[in-house]
Structure 1
Amino acid sequence: MFPHLDERQRRLVMGAEARILGHGGIRAVARAARASETTVRKGVNELETGEARLGRVRRPGGGRKKAAELDPGLRPALLALVEPDMRGDPMSPLRWTVKSTRTLAAELTRQGHRASADTVGDLLREEGFSLQANAKTIEGTQHPDRDAQFRYLNEQARDHRDTGDPVISVDTKKKELVGQYKNAGRSWQPAGEPVMVKTHDFPGQADKAIPYGIYDMTANTGWVNVGTDHDTAAFAVASIRRWWQARGRHDYPGARRLMITADAGGSNGYRTRGWKTGLAALAAETGLDITVCHLPPGTSKWNKIEHRLFSHITMNWRGRPLTSHEVVLQSIAATTTRTGLTVHAELDTGQYPTGIHISDEAIAALPITRHRFHGDWNYTLRPQLPLEATPVSSTAADQASAGTNPGLTLHSLQDPELTGMPRQQLSELIDALMPQLELQRERTLRIRRGHERLVAPGTGAKAKLTPADRILATVLHQRKLATMDLLGQLFGVTAMTISRANQEVRPLLETHGHHINASTARFRTPADITTFLAPHPTQSEIKSAC
């Protein structure tokens, strides 16, 4: 209708539409009709007051020209100010300030382009700009085995569910202040009567609530243990223990295994010694094989508990101050979803001190079995210590070179599962590198002595590692199976000797074009390698043993 209406008629039509829409109607009509809000508001006033003045009807093209038409340089100047930092003027005074429409208008005026904040806003919208917040999409460097770990985790979870064993996702929710403190979000309240909270937050003086969640993926149920002390590994294990005693053993009476998916860091991280020690004690108490699969570093957002339990709890108590622990518990317990989620919450007033040290000996004695795929992320804690591994038959020379690890010999360290290549290929590699390694060693010794050898080769002090041992140690180190300290234990030398061997052999590998792929297995003790190389029982053997 607009092309057939004069100026006053258009104002009245826009004013009528705005009145019908109610609150926010003036802005919505102004945007739809591409008119100013002032014009629409004037039409509303004319309708409400009953003014009969016709007003002035402009001829086509009449009226005041837009600022961008009067000043052709206004639009380019504005675009130069709002260009992204990497393309904008590095000397611009607005580079490090908030670019609001008022600030941009003031800067344009300073440059000689007179414009109001409303004009700046109109021009930005015409150019396709809008107010936008930062988007969390950049995840940083991804671990090369990230996707493979997710597939392995899913396979383990599917295997447990198929046999009726529980699979739980665990994590610690953000710590909450208990008291009259502001809580993010908004809730419906009578107009002009918001909930009054304290102006400042003093975390050191306030009580706190530490929700540790256990989400049962199969049953779609949540258990939240609300602590009041510290978020430690002991607190995490105690939360799982309370869930098992109250719900797990009743929901899964025939369970023989328990699978836990957890983040890579925090109180349940894969490097946390207290976490593994506590789970070992829990396995002994319950008689369960407890398998833990950690999510790869930097992927905690993908943990099931985050978007199936914690997100709903956060939405349930948004905008509501958590004035007491009782309010926290009731808010958590009242959380439900359309898919049938139920949540139980309990208060844990136990003390969980920090700074507890766990020795290397205690870790080495744990009944832990590291999986072949990324043993640092995937491992199983048994209810009892595993049987001693049967030593591999070996010669006396092999036993001597194996040091204090009689179950591991040079022959067993050449296993394809460790080296990543068949024994024949490893033998050919050693034969190809040994002559050049000997020449390189002689050259280094000659430079160190400052003169030629005075005694015949083979006499004098013996090398701590034979050339074949140095090559094998370097291959194992390049596979990232173990630290240099552990490799030193396996070869009966110090970590410095392993480091020197690596420095000697690695350039030769690169010169010959031999690329050693890193393994997904990780070992901490010789017992881990012994268990890894031990033959796994077949299904028929398992059934016969049962």
Structure 2
Amino acid sequence: MDPQAETEVRKKHNLLAPLFDEQTRRLWAAAEAQVLGRGGVSLVARATGLSRTTIHQGIKDLVQLHETKVAPKQRRIRAAGAGRKPIDEYDPTLRKDLERLVDPVTRGDPESPLRWTCKSTRQLAAALEVQGHVVGRQKVADLLADLGYSLQANRKTKEGSADHPDRDQQFNYINEQASAFQNQRQPVISVDTKKKELVGDFKNAGQEWEPKGDPQEVQGHDFPDPKLGKANPYGVYDQNANVGWVSVGTDHDTSEFAVESIRRWWNNMGRSRYPDATELLITADGGGSNGYRVRLWKVALQRFANETGLRISVCHFPPGTSKWNKIEHRMFSFISMNWRGRPLISHEVIVDLIGSTTTQNGLSISAELDTNIYQKGIHISDEELKAVNLTKAPFHGEWNYSIAKNCSG
């Protein structure tokens, strides 16, 4: 079912909610579900928060109304605030504990809001009960859907020519490092460059509400505008706080641009949120401007460490596994949803659309235009690389390392 349809049902429900009593809400939801057809009940349940049982009862009431021409018997309508409380209200840690269970084995497409887990809802409910939660498998399914997960059959995805033999061990190492940093109240960020976007009146995939028969006209070709060029959004996702930062670059996507984006996140968001921080953990892809083989990336991080005094630890995902990076499915996917169907006519529009992206789970993003010039092809000598105060981890030191302040530099 199209996510756009769920968004529209949610909007209508929020607009009409003040007018509904218990029965009219049930009947309205049932009507929406029937109009949507297959999958409509599940979609309306996610969009409105009503249970599937309630919507099915509404459908029975509608059938009775049309068959007998008699309105369904008025049931006792509960007063506002009565009834069962939302599960988050009496079990506030359930949602976080559930996501912690599925997160280490999660995979997803970086341009799609869909994620899937290889654990069944029955197994997850049992694991949550061991932790002291009282929850059934249907409620687990509802919470997973709300978090953007869906249970699917096993399927291989293309992740390069061959999987690295230590791939799973590296994933476990990253999870262990992230947990250790979070337990010590040290910041953990996920970083990456979102795909480059054409700036101008070009077609953008997706649909948006427009006057009937009057779609917004865009260019019939996809040749970059020589004046506007492309936008390079580099993102920083704070895993502890569920907040993000995006620098929208107008020049080349280089390591200096990547580290400048991290610097802006720290100066605008990180420093105030973590005033006592002494360390920073960065999880990043294995290639691109923040690749583990890129010398300029390490030199630029050394400058950042010297400026802030932070000990910077870096964990790279193995080659070909970038879609496992949290920023892809926790931030970039929602940005793509937010601007679908809208021509990205200027850098300022891109910044505004990124900054207005939010989710029901509290995600917020700040964005800023970066008009600096970043030179390509900067050569880093062996001497400059040796000057980096870098310590390799015992396990795959090329992927896992830390850079401390260089007192001599």
Pairwise TM-score range, normalised by the shorter structure: 0.5 to 0.7
Q: Does 1:198 align with 2:198?
A: no
Match 2:383 to one of 337, 342, 361: 361
Q: 1:265: which partner in 2?
A: 287
Q: Deviations over 1:250-289 (max 9, x none)?
A: 0000000000000000000000111000001100110000
For residues 247 and 309 of structure 1, the distance between their equivalents in structure 2, rounded to whole angstroms, comes to 16
Q: 1:174: which partner in 2?
A: 195
Greater length-normalized contact order (CA 8 Å, ≥ 6 residues apart): 2
- C-alpha contact 1:232 1:267 (8 A) present in aligned 2: yes
Q: Does 1:348 align with 2:370?
A: yes
Matches within 5 A, 1:464-479: none
* CA apart distance, 1:136: 7.2
TM-score (norm 2): 0.61
Match 2:157 to one of 128, 137, 149: 137
Runs of 4+ in 1 over 3 A off after TM superposition: 21-24
Identity over aligned pairs, percent: 61
Q: 2:402: which partner in 1?
A: 380
For residues 253 and 343 of structure 2, the distance between their equivalents in structure 1, rounded to whole angstroms, comes to 22
Task: In structure 2, give the amino acid aligned to 1:317.
Answer: W
Q: Does 1:160 align with 2:181?
A: yes
Q: 1:149: which partner in 2?
A: 170
Q: Structure 1 342/23 Cα, relative in aligned 2: closer, same or farther at 3 Å?
A: closer
SS where residue 169 of structure 1 aligns? strand
* CA apart distance, 1:22: 9.1
For residues 392 and 157 of structure 2, the distance between their equivalents in structure 1, rounded to whole angstroms, comes to 33
Q: Deviations over 1:451-475 (max 9, x none)?
A: xxxxxxxxxxxxxxxxxxxxxxxxx
Match 1:222 to one of 212, 224, 244: 244
- C-alpha contact 2:199 2:224 (8 A) present in aligned 1: no
Aligned residues: 257
For residues 203 and 153 of structure 1, the distance between their equivalents in structure 2, rounded to whole angstroms, comes to 38
For residues 246 and 160 of structure 1, the distance between their equivalents in structure 2, rounded to whole angstroms, comes to 21
Q: 1:242: which partner in 2?
A: 264
Q: Structure 1 231/136 Cα, relative in aligned 2: closer, same or farther at 3 Å?
A: farther
Q: 2:207: which partner in 1?
A: 186
Any gaps of 5 or more consecutive residues in structure 1? 1-20, 25-134, 387-546
For residues 23 and 243 of structure 1, the distance between their equivalents in structure 2, rounded to whole angstroms, comes to 42
For residues 323 and 231 of structure 1, the distance between their equivalents in structure 2, rounded to whole angstroms, comes to 20
Match 1:283 to one of 286, 294, 305: 305
Q: 2:358: which partner in 1?
A: 336
Q: 1:422: which partner in 2?
A: none
* CA apart distance, 1:384: 2.2
* CA apart distance, 1:187: 1.5
Q: Deviations over 1:344-365 (max 9, x none)?
A: 0001000001011000111112
Matches within 5 A, 1:6-85: none
For residues 356 and 265 of structure 2, the distance between their equivalents in structure 1, rounded to whole angstroms, comes to 18
Q: Deviations over 1:295-345 (max 9, x none)?
A: 011110000000000000000000100111121111011100111000000
Q: Deviations over 1:456-512 (max 9, x none)?
A: xxxxxxxxxxxxxxxxxxxxxxxxxxxxxxxxxxxxxxxxxxxxxxxxxxxxxxxxx
The alignment's C-alpha RMSD in Å is 2.0
Matches within 5 A, 1:284-433: 284-384=306-406
SS where residue 239 of structure 1 aligns? helix
Q: Deviations over 1:425-476 (max 9, x none)?
A: xxxxxxxxxxxxxxxxxxxxxxxxxxxxxxxxxxxxxxxxxxxxxxxxxxxx
TM-score (norm 1): 0.46
* CA apart distance, 1:23: 11
For residues 229 and 353 of structure 2, the distance between their equivalents in structure 1, rounded to whole angstroms, comes to 17
Task: In structure 2, give the amino acid aligned to 1:330.
Answer: D
Task: In structure 1, give the amino acid aligned to 2:254.
Answer: T
Q: Structure 1 190/141 Cα, relative in aligned 2: closer, same or farther at 3 Å?
A: same
For residues 144 and 207 of structure 1, the distance between their equivalents in structure 2, rounded to whole angstroms, comes to 40
Task: In structure 1, give the amino acid aligned to 2:223.
Answer: F
